[in-house]
Structure 1
Amino acid sequence: MGKYNVSKSLDVRGEVCPVPDVETKRALKSMKPGEILEVWIDYPMSKERIPETVKSMGHEVLEIEEVGPSEWKIYIKVNG
């Protein structure tokens, strides 16, 4: 079990912009307030773009965790 109670996991490794961004938005829209989305990415640009998008949607980035060389997990809390 990780540090967060993850409600949904999204793996967009191997994808380049705008796919990770679009898929993250789509996943967040189907989630309820308080739930946590875990997004796996390996495209460095997404590490900057996804948090910007998430904040503009009113949600909260809890952490960006480096899990390997050029591989990250972004934890996002869905706000109402």
Structure 2
Amino acid sequence: MSVRLPKLTLPTFDCKVLEWTSWWEQFNADIHLNEELPDISKFSYLRSLVGGEAAQAIAGLALTSENYPHAVELLQDRFGGRS
């Protein structure tokens, strides 16, 4: 017997420092660590789920597989150490 789960909706990170850790934990579990998703798709999700200063921090990176790890590193460096 299979269970049908509801569609997952991820929150947007709007640069509230105290929300970074919980936002990243959910993004990490649902998107970042998902081995079935290519990095280009992960980057696309990442861009769609950040706003404000976070969006500006990665805006200069072209949407490519190669830039996804750089975008993650930029956001972790900027927001990960604040909480």
More helix by share: 2
Q: TM-score, normalised by structure 1?
A: 0.30
More strand by share: 1
Q: TM-score, normalised by structure 2?
A: 0.30
Please tell me whether Structure 1 or Structure 2 has the larger radius of gyration of its CA atoms.
Answer: 2
